[in-house]
Structure 1
Amino acid sequence: MLRVAWPLVVIQLLQVMYNVADTFWLGRLSADAVGALSLAFPLVFLFISVGGGFTAAGAILVAQHTGAGGDRKAGRVAGSTLGFVMLVSLAIAAVGYVAVEPMLSLLPADPDTATDVVPLAAAYMRVFFLATPFLFGFYVFVALMRGYGDTRGPLRVMLVSVAMNVALDPILIFGLGPFDAYGIEGAAWATFASRAVATVIGWYVLFGTSAGPDVRPWDLLPDLGIVGDVVKLGVPSALEQSGTALAFVVLTSMVATFPPGIVAAYGLGNRLISLVFLPAMGLSQATNTVVGQNLGAERADRAWRAVRASLSVIVGVMIPVSLFAAAFPGVIVEVFLPPDAPDAGETIGYATTYLRTAAIMFAFTGAFEVGRGALRGAGRTTTALAFSLIALWGVRVPATYLLVFEYGWGTTGIWWAVVFGDVVGATVVLAWLLRGTWASAVVDTGETAAVDD
């Protein structure tokens, strides 16, 4: 488990480094630029989540066919998934680019937020959508290699891409030598360039080396049978991710009714929380792979042991992390938004309170993430979808509305609604895992037949 998990944890760290680098340098530009990321991210995530579900489905099928000994079948699944997801990414890029202004206009923004923050978010989103095919090109490479059990190859590619992004961010944001200062658009262009390089290298690894699944160029032509299996498993994952993204859009629309400082604090707090949960995301993906391969090999007992080990590790890691975040939230926040940055004072105060409150839920969120990873690895993507919807739409969204607008808690209601959602989500997913009915595969030595609890 740890052999598979540690590269995935590092990959998640590097993945978040794109956002951390953007936040770090844009925090030195202005608090409004950080707030623009807060508005842009959930809208971009809403589009990306559609293809993300199909990528996850391909990884599940590759893992289970690999576990069952069907290496060539795993290669055909990988190729069809890659071809299909790239077609989806082109459609997402086109629709997203033309829909930037209409989407942002739907947010009920505070007047100052509409004037100072929304135009910056639009500039960032337009460039980001141009990069969408490269984003998906690399995502699907990582997912398919993970399903095969190779997590170190994607890690090396990610190192190159992140190093490039970190180097380009300050150059393109503030300008250097022959490069003009592009401000917030510079952060998006840095992402574009670094993702493009990662995609080219990743595809070379898949098609030009013996690493990973036995995928061949003609496998890119989508096989309708395989695409049907990918869609069957991927739609629940896509709905889960889209439901999550849409919930964040609704939450952001509520936060956008506050002044720019609070919008920026919400986005900054979310970025810091995402950094904290890197171990959970890595362990969740490792659990997904190990559970899938063991169930494909008809070793439900080993799948169970992997889930229990992952839960023990993540809770043990998250407890000291939560104690540190609760004790020193201001120090952490000021690393990313220095006090001397324009309009930083109010944002730092609110973000500090948010981080201190959120620290309560860290162990719960870790368990929630790992538990859903186990369900996805078993092919129970509909069950994982249901629990995500419960946590977000059943608890967090209504709690935010009630606490903020009905009970007058203001920003305090925003922070506590986050905690309530993940505590409830962790409780229900752990209760479901204890039932044990999820522990069987969805493939039969090369044939797929999706089932669910």
Structure 2
Amino acid sequence: MLRVAWPLVLIQLLQVMYNVADTFWLGRLSADAVGALSLAFPIVFLFISVGAGFTAAGAILVAQHTGAGGDRQAGRVAGTTLGFVMLVSLVIAAVGYVAVEPMLALLPADVATARDIVPLAAEYMRVFFLATPFLFGFYVFVSLMRGYGDTRGPLRVMVISVALNVVLDPILIFGFGPINGSGIEGAAWATLVSRAVATVVGWYVIFGTSAGPDVRPPDLVPDLDIVRDVVTLGVPSALEQSGVSLAFVVLTGMVASFPPAIVAAYGLGNRLISLVFLPALGLSQATNTVVGQNLGAERADRAWRAVRAALTVVVAVMIPVSLFAAAFPEAIVTVFLPPDAPDAGQTIEYATVYLRTAAVMFAFTGVFEVGRGAFRGAGRTKTALVFSLIALWGVRVPATYVLVFEQGWGTTGIWWAVVFGDVVGAVVVLAWLLRGTWTSAVVETGEPSHADD
């Protein structure tokens, strides 16, 4: 499991580096630019989450067919998932591009936030939606390779893409030589180019090498039976991720009613917390793969061992990280938003308090992520959906409203509602894991290897 997990942790680190690089350079542009990212990202993620659920379904089916020995069927599943997700991505790109202004207009923004931050968010989002097909092209490549058990190939491709993004960000944001800087829009263009390169290289790996599942060009033509399986498993995953992202849109709407410094601090804090969660996300995805393959091979005992090992490791890793973040929050924040940046003073102060408060939940978040990874690997995507909705819609969203607007806690209510959601989520996920009702496969097992060749 750890052999599968460590490249996934690095992939997640590199994935976050796209956002961190944007935050790092835009923090040197202005605090308003950082605030614009905090408004734009939840809305963009709402659209992305629809297709991401289907990539997750493809990974589950590839993992279980691989474990059961159905290599050729795993290739067919991968091909159908690839073709289907790309069609979905084109629709999402078109709808998202034309809906940028109407979506931002729905946010109950503070007057200064509406004047200084919302227009910047619109600039970023329009270009980002153009990049959506390339974003999905790479996501589905990583998911299918992960389901097959190959995580090192996607890691190599990710290194190329992130390196390109890190180089392009300052050039396109501030300008260099004959290239004029485009500000926040330049960060989005850097993402588009780097994602396009990653997609091209990733598809070459699938179709031009022997790595990963045995996908052949005819497999891209949708097989209706496979599409049905992908949709059956993918819709709950899509609903889970859409529910998560919609909750973040609602939360962002509440935060947008505050002045720009608080909006920027909320976005910066979330970016930093996403860095902290990398080990948990990597272990969650590794658990997904190992559970899926072992249940496909009818080894429920080994799937259980993987889950217990992942829970132990994630808690052991997250506790020291939590202590470090609680001890040095301001030093961490100022790496990404220098004190001499325009309007940075209050933003740094609020983000420091947010990070110190959030450190309380890090180990709980690790348990929550690993548990949901186990449910997805077993094909229990509806179970993962329910627990995500409990943590966000059952706890975090109402807690934010009550603490901030009813109890008058102000920004303190925003930070503590984040903690309450993940703590409750971890407790209910762990209780359900211990019931042990998830340990069976969703595909027919005992398939002969290469039976269809």
TM-score range, shorter chain: over 0.9
Q: So what's the TM-score if we normalise by structure 1?
A: 0.98
For residues 221 and 16 of structure 2, the distance between their equivalents in structure 1, rounded to whole angstroms, comes to 32
For residues 299 and 159 of structure 1, the distance between their equivalents in structure 2, rounded to whole angstroms, comes to 34
Q: Deviations over 1:254-286 (max 9, x none)?
A: 000000000000000000000000000000000
Residue in 2 aligned with 1:368?
Answer: 368
Q: Deviations over 1:175-216 (max 9, x none)?
A: 001211100000000000000000000000000000000000
- 1:446–1:78 Cα change, 3 Å: farther
1:89 Cα deviation from its structure 2 partner? 0.0
Residue in 2 aligned with 1:326?
Answer: 326
Residue in 1 aligned with 2:219?
Answer: 219
In structure 1, what residue type is equivalent to 2:39? L
For residues 177 and 85 of structure 2, the distance between their equivalents in structure 1, rounded to whole angstroms, comes to 38
Q: So what's the TM-score if we normalise by structure 2?
A: 0.98
Structural mapping, 1:258-273, within 5 Å: 258-273=258-273
Query: In the alignment, is the contact (CA less than 8 A) between 1:73 and 1:446 conserved in 2?
Result: no
Q: Deviations over 1:65-111 (max 9, x none)?
A: 00000000000000000000000000000000000000000000000
SS in 2 for 1:444: coil
SS in 2 for 1:438: coil
Residue in 1 aligned with 2:389?
Answer: 389
Q: Deviations over 1:217-265 (max 9, x none)?
A: 1111111110000000000000000000000000000000000000000
Residue in 1 aligned with 2:199?
Answer: 199
Residue in 1 aligned with 2:93?
Answer: 93
For residues 166 and 158 of structure 2, the distance between their equivalents in structure 1, rounded to whole angstroms, comes to 12
Query: In the alignment, is the contact (CA less than 8 A) between 2:49 and 2:245 conserved in 1?
Result: yes
SS in 1 for 2:425: helix
Q: 5+ unaligned residues in a row in structure 2: which ranges?
A: 448-453
Does residue 1:438 correspond to 2:446, yes or no? no
For residues 414 and 178 of structure 1, the distance between their equivalents in structure 2, rounded to whole angstroms, comes to 44
Q: Deviations over 1:117-155 (max 9, x none)?
A: 000000000000000000000000000000000000000
Query: In the alignment, is the contact (CA less than 8 A) between 1:109 and 1:256 conserved in 2?
Result: yes
In structure 2, what residue type is equivalent to 1:51? G
Residue in 1 aligned with 2:407?
Answer: 407
For residues 312 and 342 of structure 2, the distance between their equivalents in structure 1, rounded to whole angstroms, comes to 43
In structure 1, what residue type is equivalent to 2:440? S
For residues 42 and 221 of structure 1, the distance between their equivalents in structure 2, rounded to whole angstroms, comes to 33
Query: In the alignment, is the contact (CA less than 8 A) between 2:297 and 2:446 conserved in 1?
Result: no
Residue in 2 aligned with 1:450?
Answer: none
Residue in 2 aligned with 1:416?
Answer: 416
Structural mapping, 1:229-240, within 5 Å: 229-240=229-240
For residues 234 and 188 of structure 1, the distance between their equivalents in structure 2, rounded to whole angstroms, comes to 28
Residue in 2 aligned with 1:117?
Answer: 117
1:446 Cα deviation from its structure 2 partner? 8.2
Residue in 1 aligned with 2:147?
Answer: 147
Residue in 1 aligned with 2:302?
Answer: 302
- 1:277–1:199 Cα change, 3 Å: same
In structure 1, what residue type is equivalent to 2:143? A
Query: In the alignment, is the contact (CA less than 8 A) between 1:233 and 1:379 conserved in 2?
Result: yes
1:324 Cα deviation from its structure 2 partner? 0.4
Does residue 1:313 correspond to 2:313, yes or no? yes
Query: In the alignment, is the contact (CA less than 8 A) between 1:65 and 1:446 conserved in 2?
Result: no
SS in 2 for 1:443: coil
For residues 347 and 291 of structure 1, the distance between their equivalents in structure 2, rounded to whole angstroms, comes to 42
1:445 Cα deviation from its structure 2 partner? 3.3
For residues 237 and 140 of structure 2, the distance between their equivalents in structure 1, rounded to whole angstroms, comes to 14
Residue in 1 aligned with 2:450?
Answer: none
Query: In the alignment, is the contact (CA less than 8 A) between 1:78 and 1:144 conserved in 2?
Result: yes
1:20 Cα deviation from its structure 2 partner? 0.3
Residue in 1 aligned with 2:134?
Answer: 134
Residue in 2 aligned with 1:287?
Answer: 287
Does residue 1:44 correspond to 2:48, yes or no? no
Residue in 2 aligned with 1:183?
Answer: 183
For residues 381 and 80 of structure 2, the distance between their equivalents in structure 1, rounded to whole angstroms, comes to 20
For residues 145 and 402 of structure 2, the distance between their equivalents in structure 1, rounded to whole angstroms, comes to 44
SS in 2 for 1:338: coil
Residue in 2 aligned with 1:65?
Answer: 65
In structure 2, what residue type is equivalent to 1:299? R
Query: In the alignment, is the contact (CA less than 8 A) between 1:30 and 1:342 conserved in 2?
Result: yes
For residues 326 and 446 of structure 1, the distance between their equivalents in structure 2, rounded to whole angstroms, comes to 50
Query: In the alignment, is the contact (CA less than 8 A) between 2:298 and 2:445 conserved in 1?
Result: no
How large is the Cα RMSD of the aligned pairs?
0.6
Does residue 1:164 correspond to 2:189, yes or no? no
Percent identity of paired positions between Structure 1 and Structure 2: 87
For residues 213 and 371 of structure 2, the distance between their equivalents in structure 1, rounded to whole angstroms, comes to 27
Does residue 1:34 correspond to 2:22, yes or no? no
| Paired residues, number | 447
